[in-house]
Amino acid sequence: MSAEIDRAYLQVALDELETYLLSNELYWQLSTRNNALPRLTIGQLLLTRLRLSARGLLSPADESRWTSVRQRWRAAWEKKASHEFNSRLNLWKNYLEDYFESPSNYAADYPGEVRQRVILELLTQEISAPLPQAAMLTVLDERLRTVLIPGPFVWEEELGAVFPKETWWYLYGRLKT
């Protein structure tokens, strides 16, 4: 996503974050006319915040708003994050299953699809309770390692600084075809 879209997303998302946290919706439709903005989720918000930080575009005011809502509604935040973890894990698992069935049809989609794996990592950092499904993520990572060809960072180069290879190894390479 472009920096402009990330900034627009963060502004609208922060405005609606408290309402979202107190709702039953996991994927919240933002009230904006900008159809380029993704739905609000904890994971998408975490990823957007990290990308803006990498680009030096995260303002102290936005960081303060973020921290305030996150701390005030911590239980709701973790509940949403846990539900989203399950949802994203299924999406990631489905992509990898499709890839393993037909590598030539799905390998090129990897740079976009790996976003699910990144969000899963970000969500695990937000949840204090043990995640029973974390074992499934480990299994999926083991399978991924067998087909990932090490290589350059798959996203915009400027984002690489906040995604070091040691932690975010799956962002450095491409899938076998």
Instruction: Give the domain ranges of the chain.
Output: 3-75, 83-175
SS3 (DSSP) at 30? coil
Whether the per-residue pLDDT at 69 is higher than 80: the answer is: yes
pLDDT attached to residue 34? 74
Q: For the residues 25-33, what does the mean pLDDT come to?
A: 92
- Model confidence band, residue 120 (pLDDT cutoffs 50, 70, 90): very high
Neighbouring-strand partners of residue 175:
148
CA-based nearest residue to 13, from 92, 160, 51? 51
What secondary structure letter does DSSP report for 153? E
- Model confidence band, residue 123 (pLDDT cutoffs 50, 70, 90): very high
Give the global pTM. Answer: 0.95
CA-based nearest residue to 37, from 11, 58, 57, 62? 11
pLDDT per residue as tens digits for the range 125-153: 999 988 888 999 999 999 999 999 999 99
The first and second tokens of residue 26, run together, are 């996991």
SS3 (DSSP) at 174? strand
pLDDT-above-90 percentage for the chain: 92
Measure the CA dihedral 28/96/128/21, to 10°: 0
CB 45 within 8 A of CB 17: yes
How does DSSP assign 45-68, residue by residue? HHHHHHHHHHTT---HHHHHHHHH
Alpha helices in the chain (DSSP H): 3-21, 42-54, 60-72, 74-101, 103-106, 110-124, 134-145
